[in-house]
Amino acid sequence: MADENNPADDQQDDAGVMDDWAAALAEQEVAETNASQGAAASTVKPADIFEHFDTRSSGTGPAQNIDMIMDIPVTLTVELGRTKIAIRSLLQLAQGSVVELDGLAGEPMDVLVNGCLIAQGEVVVVNEKFGIRLTDIITPAERIRRLHK
Q: Return the sign of the alpha-carbon dihedral for residues 49, 55, 59, 61.
A: positive
| The pLDDT of residue 147 | 75
What are the structural domain ranges in the chain? 7-44, 73-147
pTM of whole model > 0.75? no
Quick check: 110 and 124 in contact, CB under 8 A? Answer: no
pLDDT over 70 (residue 39): no
Q: Which of residues 21 and 73 earns the better pLDDT score? A: 73
pLDDT, tens digit, 9 for 90 and up, residues 41-53: 556 656 565 555 5
- Residue 137 pLDDT grade (very low, low, confident, very high; cuts 50, 70, 90): very high
Please state which CATH class domain 73-147 belongs to: mainly beta
Examine the pLDDT at 95 and tell me if it is beyond 90: yes
By percentage, how much of the chain surpasses pLDDT 70?
67
Angle 141-147-149 (CA atoms, 0-180°, nearest 5)?
110
